[in-house]
Amino acid sequence: MNSFFKRRYIIQGIFILVALILLGRLYYIQVVDDRYKLSADNNVLRKLVIYPARGVILDRFSKVLVQNEPVYDLMVIPGQVEEMDTLEFCKLIKISKPAFDKAFKKAKNYSLYRASLFQKQLSAVTYAAFQEKLFEYPGFYVQNRSVRFYPDSTAAQFLGYIGEVNDREIKKYDGFYSQGDYIGKTGIEKSYEELLRGQRGVRNIMVDVHNRDQGSFFDGKYDTTAVAGDNLISSLDKKLQMFGESLMVNKIGSIVAIEPSTGEILASISSPGYDPNMMVGRERGNNYMKLLNNPFKPMFIRPIQAEYPPGSIFKVINALVAQEMGVIDANTYFNCPGGYKYGRNGWMGCTHVHGTINLEQSIEESCNTYYGNTFSRMIDHSGLRPVNAYTRWRNMVMKFGIGNALGIDLPAERNGLIPTADYYTKRFKNDKWTSSFNISLSIGQGELGITPLQMANVMAIVANRGFYYKPHLIKAIGDKKIIKEEYTIRNDAGIEAKYFDPVIQGMSNVVNAPNGTAYNAKINDIEICGKTGTVQNPHGDNHSVFVAFAPRENPKIAIAVVVENAGYGATWSAPIASLMIEKYLRDSITRPKYYMDRLLNANLLPGQKKLYNKPSVKKDTIIPIKMESTKPVSIIKQTIH
């Protein structure tokens, strides 16, 4: 009897243990492990993300710069995939068998029961052929997407491109993005990502055992609607942009044009450029590597990332700062014997003997001697210790938007460079240095670094007689055409308006007087005020620079042109700027055909130079500075890339 009861309890215990195990397993499957639920749900219910149309980017006249076109992403749930004709499948979607194996392995590693991207961006033609046989391949389905299309293939560096999110970006946006989603990577696409991307929606659909759509779940009660991204109206003039790009073919450099009264950027050309459509589609990765390995760096955004010594164009700033300091005025004269002597043995050469000249003439004739004397007065004869006077000078120059990023609505803008007094104190090992130690700053050489955007902004300041608005590329956002408040704030350069008159007259003479250094840039009936510059480059040919604004009264455009390794500013940069100004103000070119052909046909790439009808021009370059044996002087530097 006792034995019977013992066996009964043992059997009951076994049943209870089995029941507990089953209950525990059931609890684990239903509550803890969601694989089976997901598998079941995916057999009857599929959640499709509805991607919104990304915002369109327009030019200032509402002409399309970037729009969307449909593509189709092929998704897979590996756990639902059945035995199939893999080769036929590969043929349908136009991939190789190794590519299929790699993609399927990646999807399995991600999850057997969750959908993931198998093949991105099927074209409309490929999808049309594949759609008819989609039901033969359980576990696969197509998700509608859109990609960018650039109808005129222009402004690649300005617009930027989109690409798949990486892990860092997924983390940064707190899981808003998932694997396979697209995000702005560079340019406007990145700066305005949160406005352009819109709001995603979700559609819940029922599917049968053959993976065929059976309609909405609960008649769409639980669906959410996608909201399209905001359209952006850029400040760019598409015709002017494309014209500038044609002028810069086979040249390395930049063109930046700004509307002085608003700070709106009319053109932003970085050369060499590339077709932005190369960064769309299934060949994007290969194209990216080709561009990355190009020796002329087409993905380097020169208007905001290249830093150059400004050369003679910096004389405009020194002329204004010196007047504000009270060390010179419009009637201050210096004698130029062909160069500026400083210290005991130092000598900074000039282009030729100018004789006795005033401020206006110093701009017109680009006299180095005048600015050597002016810089000496600002640093050595200001009533302050030279180290303190230099700091005051530096602070005044920085108010022109130099030495700090201007805050343009593009990522990766560089600051430029104006060395601090501490830099020279450390370099010369004491604080007793004077203007003779960094005299090259007087004529825009030495350690200075200025971006083309900053150069154009300086011209906007001169055009406005002392102020500027923050340069920007997007002038209005969305249907309500919202303007950012920061773009309406007037920034003061700290120079009284009266001090601009002699400088502007000198700049007008540069272009319009027969002896001006840029007379070949003159346009009848449009008064251009400009300044040429030839920037020394110890590693190759000098850089050609020209800055200007026009017309003189009520200016409409301020511009900076840099052509690397091209020589004199008057030879290449000034004519390019002149054509850009005329194109913008007149929407046509009145100069003879040969004038423009020379620029269009010239190849100025390093090692490939082929010139077309090169004219003779008045030199504005500087004579190399003779070093003193006892006192070091700033070294002319190469363009920073």
DSSP secondary structure of 376-444: HHHHHSSSS-HHHHHHHHHHHHHTTS-SS----SSTT----B---HHHHHHHHTSS---GGGSGGGGGT
Cβ distance 377 to 321 under 8 Å? no
Cβ distance 546 to 457 under 8 Å? no
At 176, which CATH number?
3.90.1310.10
Single out the residue in 234, 251, 272 at which a domain terminates: 234
Has residue 26 been placed in a domain?
A: no
Question: Would the CA dihedral through 132, 136, 137, 138 be positive or negative?
Answer: positive
Specify whether 429 is located in the same domain as 286: yes
Residue 119 pairs with which residues in a beta bridge? 74
Specify whether 211 is located in the same domain as 301: no
Query: pLDDT at residue 332 above 70?
Result: yes
Query: pLDDT at residue 567 above 50?
Result: yes
Has residue 32 been placed in a domain?
A: no
pLDDT of residue 86: 92
Specify whether 266 is located in the same domain as 118: no
Domain total of the chain: 2
pLDDT of residue 594: 92
Specify whether 52 is located in the same domain as 139: yes
Cβ distance 467 to 491 under 8 Å? yes
Specify whether 218 is located in the same domain as 305: no
Structure tokens at 285: 């990765």
Query: pLDDT at residue 634 above 50?
Result: no
Has residue 27 been placed in a domain?
A: no
Has residue 13 been placed in a domain?
A: no
Closest C-alpha to 220, from 50, 462, 63, 342:
50
Domain extent, residue 136, equals: 45-234
From CA 366, how far away is CA 478, in angstroms rounded?
47
At 262, which CATH number?
3.40.710.10
- How confident is the model over 208-237, as a mean pLDDT? 81
Using the structure block, give the residue that is written with the tokens 């893999």: 86
Single out the residue in 182, 215, 234 at which a domain terminates: 234
Has residue 39 been placed in a domain?
A: no
Q: pLDDT digit string (tens) for 225-281?
A: 889 999 999 999 999 999 999 999 999 999 999 999 999 999 999 999 999 999 988
Has residue 20 been placed in a domain?
A: no
For the chain, the average pLDDT equals: 88
Q: Across 176-185, 502-511, 537-546, which has the greatest mean pLDDT?
A: 502-511
Has residue 412 been placed in a domain?
A: yes
Q: Which of 42-46, 435-439, 537-541 has the lowest mean pLDDT?
A: 42-46
Specify whether 565 is located in the same domain as 416: yes
- How confident is the model over 466-489, as a mean pLDDT? 95
From CA 440, how far away is CA 425, in angstroms rounded?
17
